[in-house]
Amino acid sequence: MTTRDIAAELALSVSTVGRALSGDSRISEPTRIRVEAKALELGYVGNTAARLMRGAPSNVVAFMIPDVRNTFYTAAAHALTQSLGSLGVQVMLSETNDDPATELAQIRGMAAARVAGVILTPSPTPKRESIRLLADIPHVQLLRHDRVLGSHWFGVDDAGVLRDATDHLIRLGHERIAYVGGHAGLSTADARLRGFRDAVRGDGCDDLIVRIRPSEVTDARGALRALLDLPSPPTALVTASIRATEGVLEELNDLGIRVPSDLSVVGFGDEPGFSWWGPGLTTMALPVHEIATQCSTWFHQRLTDGWSDTPYRSSSHGYLLERGSTAAA
Partner DNA sequence: CTGAAAGCGCTAACAC
Partner DNA sequence: GTGTTAGCGCTTTCAG
**Spatial separation of the C-alpha atoms in residues 24 and 20, rounded to whole Å:** 6
CB of 185: closest distance to DNA in angstroms? 35
CB of 156: closest distance to a copy of itself in angstroms? 18
Residue from 9, 18, 92, 324 touching DNA (CB under 7 A): that is 18
Residue from 10, 14, 21, 52 touching a copy of itself (CB under 8 A): that is 52
Please choose which of DNA, a copy of itself, none residue 173 contacts, taking the beta carbon within 5 to 8 angstroms, the exact cut-off set by kind: none
In angstroms, the first-to-last Cα distance of the chain is 73
Computed on alpha carbons and rounded to an integer, the radius of gyration of the chain in Å comes to: 26
Asked if 16 touches DNA (CB under 7 A), the answer is: yes
**Residue ranges of the alpha helices (H) in 113-150?**
128-135
* Length of the chain measured in residues: 329
> What stretch of H or E contains 22?
none
Please choose which of DNA, a copy of itself, none residue 136 contacts, taking the beta carbon within 5 to 8 angstroms, the exact cut-off set by kind: a copy of itself
**20, 31 in Cβ contact below 8 A?**
yes
Ordered DSSP codes for 99-123: -HHHHHHHHHHHHHTT-SEEEE---
**Spatial separation of the C-alpha atoms in residues 151 and 164, rounded to whole Å:** 26
**209, 150 in Cβ contact below 8 A?**
no
Asked if 108 touches DNA (CB under 7 A), the answer is: no
Asked if 95 touches a copy of itself (CB under 8 A), the answer is: yes
193 φ, ψ to 5°?
A: -65, -40
Residue from 9, 31, 46, 324 touching a copy of itself (CB under 8 A): that is 46
Please choose which of a copy of itself, DNA, none residue 27 contacts, taking the beta carbon within 5 to 8 angstroms, the exact cut-off set by kind: DNA
Q: Which is nearer to DNA, 26 or 69 (CB)?
A: 26
Residue from 10, 14, 21, 77 touching a copy of itself (CB under 8 A): that is 77
Residue from 8, 33, 42, 51 touching DNA (CB under 7 A): that is 51
Strand partners, 154: 142, 314
Kindly list the residues in this chain that would bind DNA in the complex (CB under 7 A): 2-4, 11-16, 18-19, 21-22, 26-28, 31, 44, 46-47, 50-51, 53-56
